[in-house]
Structures are given as C-alpha cells and as structure tokens.
Structure 1
Amino acid sequence: MTQTLFETPSVYRPSDAEMAAPVPQVQAVLFDFSNTLFQMIPLGTWLRRVGRASGRLALLDEPGAEAEISRQLRTAFRLPSVAALQQGRDLSPERHRQAMHGWWQHVDFLRGAQETAYRALTAPDAWTPYPDTEPTLRALRSRGLRVAIVSDFAWDLRTHLVHHGMDTLIDSCVISYEQGREKPDPHLFFKACADLGTEPRATLMVGDNPVRDGGATACGMRTYILPAEIRTGERGLSDVLRLVPRGQPR
C-alpha cells in the first residue's frame, strides 16, 4: 500500500481483510493509572505527613505557608536543571528518586527532608481512587471485559490497588519501570494486549495524555482521552461504559 501524506504513522499493520471488515467490538480496556484511575492525596495532606515525620509540622501553621510551598514547587519545577531530571524519571526507582530529590531541594520546607517526603509520596495510602474508579472497573468486569493498567510509574503501583481492595479488578499491570520503557513506546501497549489475550484492534486505551496515552492509536487501538484537569470529584470514567459492549458476565 502506498503511503499518502495523510496516512497516520502506525506500527500496527492490519491485513486488507481486517481493514475491509467491521471494526471488532472492544474486548479489553487499558487504563492509565495516575490522574486517570488514581490521584495523589492533596498537597496539604502530603505536606502535613511530611511535617509530622520530619518534626516540621509547626512550620505549616504559619500564615500562607502552604501557598508559599506550592509557589516554590512550581517555580523550582521550571528550573532547567530540575526539568532535565524529570526526563525518563519513570524508567527506574533510582531515577525517579533522584528527580524528586533534585526538585525538592529547591523548596525550603522540603530541603533536608527529601527522603521523608519520598516515603510519604510512595506510601500505599498516598494515592487514592476517584469516586467512579471502582464502580467503572466492576461494571467492566460484569460485562466480561478484561482490564489492564499501562502506566508510566516508578514503583509498584499494585501496592495502591491492594490498599484500596481493587487488585482483583485488574487482570494485568504493565509499568514503565518494570519494562524499562515509557509511553508512547508501542511495546507497553502490545504487552498489555498479549497479557490479556486480546488483539489491539479489539482494545480500548483510556488515559489523560494525548501524546503518551494517545500513542496507543499507532498500535491499532481505539483511545479515549480524559480532560487533563485536577479533579476533586468523579473523573468521568463512566463514559467508558458507553464505548464497550454489555457482553456476558464472567
């Protein structure tokens, strides 16, 4: 087939018969983890945990303390040296720890307590599901669909699933630090399909990053991208149920 100027780059090569046939129904759903299924606890909660563990809790009671810490975090993140550390940080726990330590050393409240802050960041209860995460996952399982997580994450996110009793709702986790690759690397999406025993064209990817999660389209998958916003209520995951068949219970 001759490539045209408007052909979408792809690493998936469907046959002529597949391209002529109806698009298959979705049999499996892949989810991003961070800011799609789960989110980090609020900044103030995290800071108070760090403060208690480091003996700095009283500093947070000063007027405007949390706002100033938030400002310093945003400012430091834009520093070229800090930005450089974030590149590839989810490829290994070591790189991620180095990236966080290098960022937090520019924040007065966190300087000298980086490892305490890191333990608070990675604690099992430091990441919480959105209100509609569990209902959506249960609904997918009730319809007989298989579910996996494909995430750029630098430690074992399964600890957060277990803490919230959701590990039985996920069939497979493909995590960047275990694979030595980050999205949109096709390997991660293809591995998730292989783990679930489904074809890419019968798989839906759900995430919040059009570049990283949207990379699944180059693997032949359909993709649903959520708005990239900091939610305090439901994430909007129930809309995924409109994109999949009702199926048969397992």
Structure 2
Amino acid sequence: MNDVAAVLFDFSGTLFRLEEDDSWFAGMELDSDDRREIDGHVQAELMRRLTAPTGRSVHMTPEALHAWVNRDLAPHLHREAYLHVLRESGLARHHAESLYARVIDPASWTPYPDTAAVLGALRQHGISIAVVSNIAFDLRPAFDGVGLAGAVDEFVLSFEVGAVKPDPAIFQTALDRLGVPAGRTLMVGDSDEADGGARALGCGFALVDPLPTSQRADGLVSALQAHGL
C-alpha cells in the first residue's frame, strides 16, 4: 500500500491506552464476605473489563445487555453499561462511579511512545488522518492535552455518527470526510473483529497489540512500515 492517501486509527489500545494508577484504587475493597482488598491482579482484570473492545465479561440482565450492546452510541448507555460491569465485578457503587469517572476523563489516557512521531510523519508526507473510535465521550481533549490538537484531520466517533465498528458505515463516514477512496486507505487498530471491519470496504488493515505503553515503543511504526509507509 505504498500509494496510501489516508490512515484511519482506532483510539483505545492503538494510539492511546487507559493505564491505571494505584491511587485510583486507594481505599477500595471488593464487596464480599472477606472484604478483599484490590490487589494488582484485580486491578488488571478490572482495567481489562473496562477497555476490551469486544465481548462481555459479567452476567447481564436484559436491560444491562441492551446498554452494553449500545454503549458506544450514547453517553447514558455507556455509563449504565460500565457501572453494571464494575458492580458485577464486586465494586461498591461509589467506587464504581469513581473508577468510571477515570475512564471518561481524557487526562487518564496515555499516548503510546510513537503516537506523536507517527502522526507527525504522516502529516509531513501529506497523508490524511482520521481517528475512528467506538466511544461515547469526546476524546479530542486527550489529543489537546499532549499537544496533538492539530495532528488529526477528522474524528469519527460512534456516539456522534450513530454507527459502531465493524459497521462499514463508520468507516465510510471517515472516507467521505477525508475525501479518499478505500483502496488507498489503511485502518490501524487493536481489534481484528471491530477495526478489521474496514476491510469490507476495501481498506487495508494493520493489527497492533494493545500492550501497556511501556512495553510497546514502536508498534505503530512497525505496523505502518509493514504496509509500505
């Protein structure tokens, strides 16, 4: 794909990652007979449940399932869905609300080490950039907060456009806004199921591993190089 005119990026696990701080869990215990403290393993599992792009990890009532399936289309459903996950995971409601507030705070998200360099290099070469995300809150401030406000041409967010990956409609919206054909576009993301949906339109696709930022120094660079960029 050496004639790539545009690159579409997923957000969570691709350009940025939600990485917990121990202070987020200070004073929290799991609701159980032994009031078990939240250790590192529990923290990691809670964060996985908050960031996994597909699937579900707890029992859900019909109402909770409706919220979960549609969570990225409306902020109130997103909140309802994730508070249910956290409550079912054993957190008291006030602790669940505290942790959920971290999820939707743009300042909680950490860019991968090569995010800024990759976005800058693509812009330098005249390649258009869009962020295509299944999300129910405005993530633009996350880019503003690390000096990348002008690095992205278009933000195509599920709750704003009414379509969720892998629905081709969300990718088509990005293509239309950028004015580029699918055949000259590469989608980069951490979910073959969700982000890989761009292939249905004829886009190329590069899969990255949503490792902690400290363990993935050049994942974006490697993904783009593998596709001739």
TM-based fold match above 0.5: yes
For these two proteins, the number of residue pairs brought into alignment is 214
- After TM superposition, the structure 1 = structure 2 runs for residues 161-176 of structure 1, keeping only pairs within 5 Å, are 161-176=143-158
Corresponding position: 1:207 with 2:180: no
Aligned to 1:78: 58
Deviation at 1:140, TM superposition (A): 0.8
1:239 is the counterpart of 2:217? no
**Which residues in structure 2 correspond to 1:25-44 (within 5 Å)?**
25-42=3-20
The Cα of 1:108 is off from its aligned counterpart by: 4.5
Instruction: Give the drift of 1:207.
Output: 0.7
- Taking the aligned partners of 1:100 and 1:224, their CA distance within structure 2 comes to 28
Could you report, residue by residue, the CA deviation over 1:105-133 in whole angstroms, capped at 9, with x for unpaired residues?
A: 23444433333322222122111100011
Q: SS of the residue aligned with 1:115? A: helix
Are the counterparts in 2 of residues 203 and 221 from structure 1 also a CA contact under 8 Å?
yes
| Post-superposition offset of 1:64 | 5.6
- Flag the 1:68–1:241 CA change in 2: closer, same or farther, 3 A: closer
Q: Which structure 1 residue ranges, 5 or more long, are not aligned?
A: 1-22, 246-250
Aligned to 2:52: none
* Residue in 2 that maps onto 1:12: none
Asked if the contact 2:25/2:38 (under 8 Å) is kept, the reply is no
- 1:228 deviation in Å? 5.0
Which shifted more, 146-155 or 228-237?
228-237
| Match of residue 66 from structure 1 | 39
1:230 positional shift: 4.6
Q: Kindly tell me: are residues 180 and 120 of structure 1, through their superposed partners in 2, closer, same or farther at Cα, counting changes over 3 Å?
A: same
Structure of higher CA gyration radius? 1
1:227 equivalent in structure 2: 209
Give the residue type in structure 2 aligned to 1:87: V
Identity of aligned residues (%): 35
Distance 1:48 1:107, change over 3 A: farther
Matched with 1:137 is 119
